[in-house]
Structure 1
């Protein structure tokens, strides 16, 4: 039957034998999968399986599609079927464990977890799952004993430390939990708002309110979760609740968070189908855990399944997630070239009574992405109007972004004051120094000042390819062609995918008399998706050489 199914699939759905519902469903399932409709594909595979219920390949495929598509009912049934047939996998064992978790059947949870075997990097999750199961069964001391934190630093220690801290809090051992979370925040957890909120919540429990306020004052600037927790704490309200999103006191939340972290770690370098499976398991473990659906949406979007990601985002509730959901939704819509819809989503944030500068900056970024540079600058102006006065050093990038948008719009007169303001506010920032210096250089304006700015930027970041390019282009404009070639070759090595830098190298090689190499550099630039402005210039240089191309461009 299997060979026939594949042959008919390749021939197309019209080849399905009349009346063969199983065969038709299988073909439709494969087509739905190819069209990235995972939930639909899973249902077709379930139908196909009824005609051949003992087929382990169909069962496994139906299981994986149900898991990826978010169909918990079908995923649980297929995982149980795989286990009963002796064809279970590590993934089906975890799914069986989550099904038991939903029923709070801790004996079944322990049995399913015991079947999980993985010799790779995610083997660390087994003892953590066992510990959450023991906690759920009312055995907190046994749970904590199961989590032996390694002495050496690494991912295993990080996982153990975080989950042990949450379990100490769940066991009511607040002093120890506060110390555990504080140690995590002092190391790799410094920029994880959720861990700071958890640490602060534990500090409040032991009467250290001032220390809790200090804890919430650190971390990422203007983070919404930290800001909301600070406001609640200052108002005398509890920050140890689920709404604040710090502590994980329920086994379901702890297991969900564990799976979400695995999902994030597995996809750190590239999109990974297994990452989606773990994100879905997290959403199954705690359906009311908003972070789970956010992770599901992120994984779906990374794998090119934008419509499915939007469905997941629509299920995320809670005021704390309004901005993250809007940001992700607009990005997915923009990727799908639905710019008006993306713009409407972000415009909604700017109409809120609690609008913040970052709301306007999201809209500015979208307009810049769409090539609407004046609209982008206008949005940044709205953000700047919400900033405190006088401007602070950390506000430099607002002026830089407005200035760069105006510069890209061709309005140098309006752009220059903003770019100078940015440098004034943050005089040691290499990016700001370089942008202003290169902008002056490229226009042939205030060349001595341009050279000074670029030199300062290069001193601050000598390995930055964009800044090396500026230094090379400065040498070119000053007629030092051999030096320009040397610098621009370093810039290309640092930024091999930048067509502008490759173009600059071609010009320098041409003027240094190395014309074959120059054409090679221009050809390389042309292959790197140059802008609509640069592409025709490269074509003329390749056809006619630098001097003729320059004369043609001036006509």
Structure 2
């Protein structure tokens, strides 16, 4: 679910933790405490480090070690409780939540967890009572309010559930609440209201995947197949593709009702946790985002879309074993099964098994020759491995599967252009970059790449400068693009302007060998030879690949002999 998490709301739900005695913490870090048996503070500090890395299982062990020594310490207990949630051990977290509430009666996340467990077990009245004790005004309060509405729906009272959602209307999440009104009404059998709310949600955010899928399902279930087809066509025309939406094309075209978006109270509440968890993670609250997604999977273990999101969060944090475990649970019958296999292959690459990743991806495209996502992933991994010809071939296969270019397809031409350019086939690369700009004229990466390539080859310098200047306008803090601007000025003989821009680029990327080498060249032409030598030495020192060193090292003895042609 697409939304903006307000900073004020996030601040309102931050879990408060008591301070650790500074002397104890310093002793633990300096090794003054016993090494034979970690102190509670030592275990706590180890748990903090593990939790920061989203290693929930290890963090829970450390925090429980600390809590076992000081069972009435709310800091240790609350951290252990949170770690169990991050690890997806909701039952263990719920057991600890009772003790945590004895210590901290106002702990909102503990009550939310207990309410979730009650909802899972269909103890709807208990869930409603537990959730009603969470105060409003925070994200946990909002979450508890929506979950309480689902409990009311579970009790057979969808009208009361809608009234509860209406009471949350001033929370700043109007679009999200409209979407859940549609789902509550749909699960509760209020089909007319469900359709009205779904239409309203769709009009607010027409290209959010979950909203589009729900609206198509509600329309088609009502027998309004032509309208459902229009939504599908508008979604595709925007250049968006998603297996869950694509899976609706066949039943809608055949006039078959595809079934409910949320087929139970539990799956409806799952969608709530999924939407909020995704938004939290996107806004930087990764830990709480993972917690919400784990609660979502607890409510509905078959929710493949939640598993995909959770796996991607774990992978982004380097927790590949956890990510792989989540992806591995997605059944082959799910529309997301191929996406899960792709993520597993990408995980292999991230763990330094590039050949294994390429082998897996080749198997996937052999079995799914029309899968754009799989061809794109294969092309990317081959490009990372600098197998330029093979990467270009993979991207060509991808492009050949697209019937009509859409604005969002610019990236495919862009990455194929890079592969062609690096393979030495400029005659193929240049048309791809131009096609990418036809599809997305203000794409700064493409403007920069084509502009810089022209500058580096000493061709089309004035148009190249205009393109790079536009890219800088769009990305004013991007050191690489600013470097391109400086280099364009240099090739045009505008050395003072080149130096100013190259120095500015180094403020953002002080250890980039290419920028240091460019600045050295500009200094040399300006007669600032000592400063030029200094920049070339830095370029050599920070160059890990050796490409810049090869051209910079001779300059240290000969200066800039092979001057680039300056217009």
TM over 0.5: yes
- Given that 1:166 and 1:249 are in contact with CA atoms closer than 8 Å, whether structure 2 keeps it comes out as no
Partner of 1:338: 353
Once residues 98 and 118 of structure 2 are traced to their aligned partners in structure 1, the CA distance between those partners, rounded to angstroms, is 11
Segments of 5+ residues of structure 1 without an aligned counterpart are 242-246
Greater displacement, 134-143 / 468-477: 468-477
SS in 1 for 2:282: coil
**Residues 158-177 of structure 1 correspond to what in structure 2 (within 5 A)?**
158-177=175-194
Once residues 485 and 49 of structure 2 are traced to their aligned partners in structure 1, the CA distance between those partners, rounded to angstroms, is 53
Partner of 1:130: 148
One of 195, 214, 228 as aligned partner of 1:198: 214
Greater displacement, 518-527 / 361-370: 518-527
Partner of 2:36: 15
Once residues 132 and 513 of structure 2 are traced to their aligned partners in structure 1, the CA distance between those partners, rounded to angstroms, is 54
One of 338, 349, 359 as aligned partner of 1:323: 338
Change (3 A) 1:349 1:450: farther
**Residues 88-487 of structure 1 correspond to what in structure 2 (within 5 A)?**
89-117=107-135, 119-148=137-166, 155-187=172-204, 189-219=205-235, 220-241=239-260, 247-270=261-284, 272-317=286-331, 318-353=333-368, 355-388=370-403, 397-409=411-423, 411=424, 414-423=425-434, 426-427=437-438, 429=441, 431-432=445-446, 434-444=448-458, 447=459, 449-455=460-466, 458=469, 462-464=473-475, 469-486=483-500
Once residues 538 and 166 of structure 2 are traced to their aligned partners in structure 1, the CA distance between those partners, rounded to angstroms, is 54
SS in 2 for 1:218: helix
TM-fit CA distance, 1:54: 5.7
Change (3 A) 1:155 1:373: farther
TM-fit CA distance, 1:75: 1.7
Segments of 5+ residues of structure 2 without an aligned counterpart are 1-20
Change (3 A) 1:55 1:120: closer
TM-fit CA distance, 1:258: 1.6
TM-fit CA distance, 1:70: 1.6
TM-fit CA distance, 1:77: 1.4
TM-fit CA distance, 1:105: 0.5
TM-fit CA distance, 1:371: 2.8
Change (3 A) 1:151 1:93: closer
SS in 1 for 2:189: coil
- Given that 2:84 and 2:93 are in contact with CA atoms closer than 8 Å, whether structure 1 keeps it comes out as yes
Change (3 A) 1:201 1:127: same
Once residues 545 and 131 of structure 1 are traced to their aligned partners in structure 2, the CA distance between those partners, rounded to angstroms, is 76
Once residues 258 and 519 of structure 1 are traced to their aligned partners in structure 2, the CA distance between those partners, rounded to angstroms, is 59
Partner of 2:16: none
Can you list the C-alpha shifts for 1:336-377, whole angstroms capped at 9, x where unaligned?
A: 222223223322320214532332111011121233323312
Change (3 A) 1:287 1:425: closer
Partner of 1:547: 560
Once residues 231 and 78 of structure 1 are traced to their aligned partners in structure 2, the CA distance between those partners, rounded to angstroms, is 47
Once residues 305 and 425 of structure 1 are traced to their aligned partners in structure 2, the CA distance between those partners, rounded to angstroms, is 35
Can you list the C-alpha shifts for 1:173-209, whole angstroms capped at 9, x where unaligned?
A: 333322322222223x222122112112222244422
Normalised TM-score (structure 2): 0.79
SS in 2 for 1:351: helix
TM-fit CA distance, 1:473: 2.5
Greater displacement, 432-441 / 272-281: 432-441
Normalised TM-score (structure 1): 0.80
Once residues 30 and 527 of structure 2 are traced to their aligned partners in structure 1, the CA distance between those partners, rounded to angstroms, is 60
Can you list the C-alpha shifts for 1:81-120, whole angstroms capped at 9, x where unaligned?
A: 3235555622211111111012110121012212334754
Aligned residues: 528
TM-fit CA distance, 1:210: 1.1
Partner of 1:244: none
Once residues 115 and 191 of structure 1 are traced to their aligned partners in structure 2, the CA distance between those partners, rounded to angstroms, is 36
TM-fit CA distance, 1:462: 4.2
Change (3 A) 1:269 1:527: farther
Q: Using CA pairs below 8 Å that are at least 6 residues apart, which structure has the higher relative contact order?
A: 2
Change (3 A) 1:471 1:59: closer
Change (3 A) 1:46 1:485: closer
Greater displacement, 319-328 / 128-137: 319-328
Once residues 184 and 518 of structure 1 are traced to their aligned partners in structure 2, the CA distance between those partners, rounded to angstroms, is 59
Change (3 A) 1:429 1:73: same
SS in 2 for 1:240: coil
Greater displacement, 53-62 / 206-215: 53-62
Change (3 A) 1:32 1:422: closer
One of 37, 44, 69 as aligned partner of 2:87: 69
- Given that 2:413 and 2:436 are in contact with CA atoms closer than 8 Å, whether structure 1 keeps it comes out as no
Q: What is the root-mean-square deviation in Å for CA atoms of aligned residues?
A: 4.1
Once residues 70 and 482 of structure 2 are traced to their aligned partners in structure 1, the CA distance between those partners, rounded to angstroms, is 64
